[in-house]
A and B are shown apart, each in its own frame.
Chain A
């Protein structure tokens, strides 16, 4: 494998590992927001912003964590045939089928960018009483999608390396 690809894989993996560690602790932020929400409802005036902040946190949680979850191999596969193949066969098939996954991510990103452009241009706000700007969360979503896309490409290179018996680290 060319040196460029090797360093791409190394850098992306490291970056997404870091982002993933950050994302996974966001669950405590979610809990704190929701706990505050129930307190404010019981003991004083209900807070208006908690619902949406919790939603924004969740979407950031799984999009920013997407790449790390790929690294951990958390995503299920239908392993009827897959489980019986050798490592090499798995890698060969994967390096083709992952192109479908990459295509899906590209379409997702395309839609994300166009939706974010719209939000920025017209100052789109959420249709709620709190009415926050939508652009910031959409930008965060796009960052998550880009990072996940970069990770799938890194996995593609790794599959390719295994399939052809070359070294990538």
Chain B
């Protein structure tokens, strides 16, 4: 049997197993080991365990449980509530101002944490009820929170870029720097959209009522102090890392500990909350780690088949496609797959396939890391599957139906595609920072 055919068979059997609804890591892992045994017999039997050893030696992965833990602590600590109040008061008088403020809140959360779950939890539990109470359109609001929280994986620190860095063998520090400008640009695009839309249709996001705006300037300025703790956490983590005092993983530990200290100092940390956070952290970390373990095994079989070379020959030599066309096709197929595949699984399956191809085509892998992350963001939000969609449904008040959530993402997905196109057309958006900021390590 030819190797292309085996590769195809691997994919289709994985899809079938995934559809049965068995745990994702079981489906991927089983296909990996059964094909390894079938292809290499005794030589393939240690494949799964070697993947385990590979996972262990992959140092940056340690940031994953630490960031997850930090996200839960931040959500519980009350820091987010103060931040929300700050944005609320300062942005409230504008049409759509609270929605714009929510995007601001999400950017700050993103700068403290590397996953989108933290922003989602904070947005849905703190911002969403307030916005609905003030007559904001529910479809508008759920879209804002989903789009905003997805910035968590683009603005440094980012766990997705850590995962990408392992597969592409690129320094995580540079990848993080590369994500900064596109992340802020994306936030800017969201804000412009909200401002214009709410100017045209003020009923979607009414400005705050007069009596609510009557706040003294002294109070307004004292609310700004809410921004201090996030700033301290950001600098103690990303700052220490970029200036070379701590390594990547050490900084994530510093970040987790500073969030914990902030929560304790504010008197929000009870034994029960700590226990729950630790427990949820184990659950989510294990979910990720076991999928990555299975996907590494899967990828190893795939590498062994030389499937990437075959795909490249097909595209370049047989179909005579331009590398740029291939790149755009890849992003499109990524988005389409994102609609149907579980996002975590996709993250670790797609990267080993696409990254070597991108490298063969001669593109910059740091730049592609940003494209990859933005595409992931889009995939996170596209129906019918998307983590953010389901998380949103789970966390939002009952009046928000799944169909509302599905409808809410459309404009934001379009904006993100615009952002993606901008980064493709102007690579300097991503590359300027890593080229001009010297990392002291």
CB distance from A64 to the nearest CB of B (A): 10
Bound-state CA distance A33–B283 (Å) is: 22
Most buried by B among A23, A34, A77, A110: A34
Chain A residues near B340 (CB-CB < 8 A): 80
CB distance from B321 to the nearest CB of A (A): 31
Bound-state CA distance A24–B281 (Å) is: 8
Q: Mark A85-122, 1 if CB is under 8 A from B, else 0.
A: 10000100110011011011001101110110000000
Contact B253 A34 (CB under 8 A): yes
Interface residues on B, range: 35 or more
Assuming the contacts A24-B278, A69-B286, A103-B33, asked whether A31 and B66 have C-beta atoms less than 8 A apart, the reply is yes
Contact A55 B56 (CB under 8 A): yes
- The verdict on B61 contacting chain A, using a C-beta distance below 8 Å, is yes
- The verdict on B384 contacting chain A, using a C-beta distance below 8 Å, is yes
Please, which residue of chain A has its CB at the minimum distance from the CB of B390?
A: A79
Chain A residues near B344 (CB-CB < 8 A): 76
Chain A residues near B342 (CB-CB < 8 A): 76-78
CB distance from B386 to the nearest CB of A (A): 12
Majority secondary structure of chain B interface residues (helix, strand, loop or mixed): helix
B249: which of A54, A65, A111 is its contact (CB, 8 Å)?
A54
- The verdict on A49 contacting chain B, using a C-beta distance below 8 Å, is no
Contact B284 A111 (CB under 8 A): no
B23: which of A41, A93, A101 is its contact (CB, 8 Å)?
A101
Chain B residues near A27 (CB-CB < 8 A): 65-66, 69, 278, 281-282
Which B9-35 residues have C-beta < 8 A from chain A? 17-27, 29-30, 32-34
CB distance from A114 to the nearest CB of B (A): 6
Bound-state CA distance A31–B24 (Å) is: 29
B245: which of A38, A62, A98, A103 is its contact (CB, 8 Å)?
A38
- The verdict on B285 contacting chain A, using a C-beta distance below 8 Å, is yes
CB distance from B427 to the nearest CB of A (A): 34
Which A53-74 residues have C-beta < 8 A from chain B? 54-56, 58-59, 61-63, 65-66, 68-69, 72, 74
**Ranked 6 nearest A-B pairs via Cβ:** A82-B21, A111-B49, A101-B26, A74-B283, A69-B286, A34-B253
Interface residues of A (CB under 8 A from B): 20, 23-25, 27, 30-31, 34-35, 37-38, 41-42, 51, 54-56, 58-59, 61-63, 65-66, 68-69, 72, 74-83, 85, 90, 93-94, 97-98, 100-101, 103-104, 107-108, 110-112, 114-115, 141
